[in-house]
Amino acid sequence: MTVTSDPEGNRRRSVLVDADGGLMLFRVSGVPVLLAPSWWLGSLLVIVLYAPLVERLLPGAGAGLSWLLAAAFAVLLGVSVFAHELGHTLVALRLGIPVRRLRLFLLGGLSEVARTPRRPGQEGLVAVAGPVVSLILAAGCGLLLLTVPPGATWLLVAQCAVANLAVAVFNLLPGLPLDGGRMLRAGVWALTGARGKGTTAAVIGGWLVAAALLVWALWGLADGSQDRWLRLGVCLVTGWFVATGASAELSAEHRRSWPIGLELRELMLPVLQLPAESPVSDALAAAAGRGVVLVRADGVAAGLLDSALAERLAADSPASPAELAAEPVRADSVLLLSEPGEEIAERVRETPAWQFLVVDDDGRPAGVLRREDLRVAISARRTG
C-alpha cells in the first residue's frame, strides 16, 4: 500500500531504531527500510493460525514441521510485502517524488512519500507498481511449482504464490488506503480535475472494502470453513486497517484542501527587508505587523526574523545583530505567489517552519505567510 547531531550514542541508536520505534533494517536508494514492532505481532498471528492449516493440507506432517513451515511462510510473506512496497518506492523516486521511508508493520507495509503526487498520472503509476511486483512474484512462484516435487517445499512455494496473488488482488480493490483506491482517486482526479472528489470516492470505496471483509469473515464462521479462524483474524486486522486508513486519508484531504474564494494575498503579512547586521531591537520594532527579511551585505537573505527569539535576544543584548534571531530561509519554506492553493496548504502542512517567505514569479519577496494564520483562515472558511 501506498497512498530530517545527536551525541555519538544517540547517533548509533538512530541507525538502528527510528523515532517511532521501528527497527532500521537497511536502506534502498537512500530510503530507510523499517520493521515496526507490530510486524512481530502480525507474524506471530500468521504462525499460530497457519500451523494447524498446514497439518490438514500436508497429511503426516508433525507439529514441529507444521510450525516450521508456518514460520517460514510468515517470513516469506514479509519479504513479499517488502517487494510490493519497494515497487512503489522505486517508481516514486523515478518520478522525482521523495520517499521518507518504507515501513513493514502488522500484516502490511507502507511507502511514505514526502509529498503528494502533483498529477493524477503520477499517482496512478506509483499505485500500480506494487500490485505489478506482487503479480510477477506470484507468477514466478507458480512456475517454480513445476520444478518442485510434492511435499513441504512445494506447499510453501504454493502458499507464497497464493499469498502474492492475494496481496495483488486485495490491493487492487477500489478503496483507500489500498493501491486500487489510489488508482480510483487518480482516475476521478483526471476526469474531474479535482483531487478532492477522487479522494471522496476512494474513501467510500475503502469503507465498503472494510465492510466486505467483515462479512466474508463472518460467512466463514457460519459456514464452518477450514480456514475460518485464520480468515477471521486476518479480516479483522485488515478491515480495521482499511477503515482507519480511509478515514485518515479523508482527514488529510480536508487539511490539504484550499477553500474556494480564499486568496493568499489576504493572509500574507507585508514584507520588510532590513540589513542582517541591524540591531535586533530595531528589527523587532520594525516588525510590528510585518514579516522581516534580513539581508546580508552581499544581497543574500540571512533568514526571516523570528519574533519570539528576537524578543529574548533583545532583552539580554538589544544591540546584537538581528541575524542571530533569524529563521533560515530554506527551499521548502519559500512559496510562489502563483502556486495553486492546495499545493501551498500541503507544503505548509508538511514543512517544519512557522513562517514562509512568499515570492512573485521573478523571485522578489511579496510577503510572509505564518502557519497559524493559514490554519485559522482555512478552519474559519470550513466552519463558516
- pLDDT tens-digit readout, 50-90: 788 777 777 777 788 888 888 888 888 888 999 999 999 99
Torsion of CA 200, 202, 204, 206, to 10 degrees: -140
With a cut of 90, say whether residue 210 has pLDDT above it.
yes
- Cell representation of residue 199: 479522494
Mean pLDDT of 145-166: 87
Mean pLDDT of the chain: 85
Confidence category of residue 381, pLDDT binned at 50, 70, 90: low
- Peptide bond preceding 365: is omega within 30 degrees of 0, i.e. cis? no
- From the options 3.40.50.1580, 3.40.710.10, 3.10.580.10, 3.40.718.10, give the CATH code of 264-383: 3.10.580.10
Mean pLDDT of 95-103: 91
Res 11: pLDDT? 38
Cα(20)–Cα(228) distance, rounded to whole angstroms? 34
By C-alpha distance, which of 55, 114, 59 is closest to 89?
A: 114
Residues marked as catalytic: 85
Angle between helices 179-192 and 195-223 (to 10 degrees): 150
Res 106: pLDDT? 72
Cα(261)–Cα(384) distance, rounded to whole angstroms? 13
Q: Are 295 and 273 in contact (CB under 8 A)?
A: yes
Cα(131)–Cα(291) distance, rounded to whole angstroms? 48
Q: Are 136 and 168 in contact (CB under 8 A)?
A: no
Mean pLDDT of 322-331: 89
Cα(367)–Cα(264) distance, rounded to whole angstroms? 10
By C-alpha distance, which of 139, 136, 200, 212 is closest to 170?
A: 212
Mean pLDDT of 268-287: 91
Domain ranges of the chain: 8-172, 192-256, 264-383
How far is CA 276 from each of CA 222, 239, 325, rounded to the nearest angstrom?
74, 56, 10
Mean pLDDT of 100-104: 91
pLDDT in tens, 289-302: 889 999 888 878 88
pLDDT in tens, 278-291: 999 999 898 888 89
Name the more confident of 6 and 325: 325
Res 94: pLDDT? 94
Res 8: pLDDT? 37
Rounded to two decimals, what is the model's pTM? 0.70
CB atoms within 10 A of CB 320: 16
Res 89: pLDDT? 96
Residue type at 299? G
Q: Are 138 and 161 in contact (CB under 8 A)?
A: yes
